[in-house]
Amino acid sequence: MPRNCSAHDYSTLIRKWRALSTKTVLRVREMSTPEPLPFFEVTNDLLCREKPFLYISAGIHGDEPAPCWALLEWVEENHSLLRNIPILFYPCLNPWGFVHNSRLDENGEDLNRIWGNVFHPLTEQILKRIEGLSFFLSLNLHEDFDANGIYIYEPYQGGRTDRWTNQILQAGKKFLTLDTRKRIDGKNAKNGIIRPRVTHPPKEGIPEALYLFQNHGTRNFTIETPSEASLEKRILSHKAMIEESVRLATRT
């Protein structure tokens, strides 16, 4: 994160993304919404229906700022890699919440529970954008105020845990410990891994990760860091887990 900058400084976050687009292959596009602040998408020229692509989103809960800065810093350090793989990133899906340090948007809505609504101003644009596309990997970056360490949601498909999950957590453990809770958000957890059944979505609505998993690809991870840890360590841990996830997904 830039020095002398608030963790919730949205204008600096977007300015940094725009600056990246002037010297890399990345494109930054403003998305129109009725909200007072627009959200943005980041992509490159490789995005097409013929190739699976990498999807990463952050900031859908505005009180979870570390993932937004971690994604920016990871891209700043790895933009040459992104010349070769199709990408679609959403650096901050809840700008109003980000600025106001709020989990919810301006209307008091949890944007991570609206992905069953194709007419919502947020989902309508994104779902049209990804219609007919498939992902080789999707990452949803989050934080948790109740967490005592890092953890990952891995959609349950039967059988054993995805072998990548432990490797991703090991990367994040260089900076933060694993969450030791056996129950997280009402679900069983073991060694920092939660495997929610896709047939049992939250009663409040469909999360982004579940929608992506069911409709656009089979490899999805929701990465969580503890909000009460230092911002620097949260950013570093997220960066390390993004790095390892992409490394695993793109190795030959």
Structure tokens at 205: 């609505």
Whether 4 has a pLDDT exceeding 60, the answer reads yes
By DSSP bridging, strand 193-194 and strand 151-153 are parallel
Output the pLDDT for position 223. 98
Least confident of 3-12, 56-65, 76-85, 227-236: 3-12
pLDDT single digits (tens) 147-199: 999 999 998 877 777 889 999 999 999 999 999 999 999 999 999 999 988 88
**What distance in Å separates the CA atoms of residue 135 and residue 212, rounded to the nearest whole number?**
9
* Mean pLDDT across 42-69: 93
Output the pLDDT for position 199. 82
Is residue 138 very low, low, confident or very high in pLDDT (cuts 50, 70, 90)? very high
Output the pLDDT for position 33. 76
**What distance in Å separates the CA atoms of residue 243 and residue 252, rounded to the nearest whole number?**
16
CB count within 10 Å of CB 169 equals: 25
Reduced to 3 states (helix: H, G, I; strand: E, B; else coil), residue 29 is strand
Q: Provide CB contacts within 8 A for 47, sequence distance 6+.
A: 53, 86, 87, 88, 133
Output the pLDDT for position 121. 92
* Domains defined for the chain, CATH in brackets: 10-250 (3.40.630.10)
Choose between 225 and 218: higher pLDDT.
Answer: 225
Question: Of 78, 77, 58, whose CA–CA distance to 14 is shortest?
Answer: 58
pLDDT single digits (tens) 82-135: 999 999 999 999 999 999 999 999 999 999 999 999 999 999 999 999 998 899
The CA-based angle 160-162-168, given to 5 degrees, is 140
Mean pLDDT estimate for the chain? 93
Whether 252 has a pLDDT exceeding 70, the answer reads no
* Mean pLDDT across 16-41: 91
